[in-house]
Structure 1
C-alpha cells in the first residue's frame, strides 16, 4: 500500500465550509482508504491506498466531498515523496524556514508567470516560485502579508493551498 497526503483548501476557515475531522476520517474510510489520520482542522489527511493514480483519487475525494457536504473545495493529493521534495527543495535562507510557508501549486504555472512573480518585490516579504511550490517568508507574519495564497493563485493562474512549516513537518512525520 502507498501512503498519500491529502490537503483540502479552504475548509473550516471563518466558519465557512465546515467539515469535522472525525467526519472526514469516516468519509475517507468509506472510500476504501486505510490508516486514515487527520491533522488539525485545516484539512490535512494522511491515508494509505492500493490506488496509484493521484488524478483518480483526487476526483473520487472531490466527488465525495461535494456529495456529502454540498460544496466543492480544491483537493490536493500528494505522495510522501512529493512532499519530501517540496520540503527539501526549500530555497530561502535556512534561518527563515521555521517561520516560512509553503504554497503548493495544483498545476505548473507558465514559465512567463513564474518569472513575472519572481521579479516582484514586496516590503518585508520574501518568496520564490518554483514549478510546484511557492516558498514564502513573511517577516511580519503571514496574517499581515500581501503575498498570500490568493495573491499567488491570481498572479500564477493556478489553484494553490498553503501550509506553514510546522504543518509540513508534522505531515511528513505522520506519513512516515
Structure 2
C-alpha cells in the first residue's frame, strides 16, 4: 500500500460526529412593506410610480423603440419582440413584469418566464418593472424560500439602474445597463 493510500484510508476511518444545523432566526422586517420597498428603491437610485404616474411619464417621453413583455402594459409597445436578441441594439425602453420584490433591499426577481431574451434588462436604455404590492416579501430569506426549487435556466434580482463607482467614489449611473429604473407599483 502506498503512503497516499494510507493517508486516504486514515482520513476515511475518522468517525465524525453528526451535528445539527443551526436554527435560522426569523429576520422578518417590521413595518409597512410597501414603504420599506419604496425607500429601498429610492436609495438604489430607482423611482416608484403609480400606474397614472407611469401613463403621464410615458406620454411625455419621446421613446420610439419600446418593447413590453407585460400583457397589461402591451399597448405602450411601439415594436414587437424580435426573434433575435441582436435586434435589440436600439431599444430605448423595456417594460417587464417581475415575480416579486424584496422590501429590505428593493431587489426584484425575474426569471426566464418574464425574459424572452436575457439581454432585455441590460441592453435597454431605460427599464420599467411592473410589481404588484401583494407580491412583496420582507427579506432575502423569504425571497429564496419563494424561489424554492424552481429550476429555470436563468434568473436574476434587479434592485436599481446599472451603476458603478471608482476608487475616487465617483458614481456613474447606466454604466453597464439601463440608465434608469422605474417600478410601477400596482
Same-fold call, TM > 0.5?
A: no
TM range (shorter): under 0.3
Report the TM-score, using the length of structure 1 for normalisation: 0.25
Higher helix share: 1
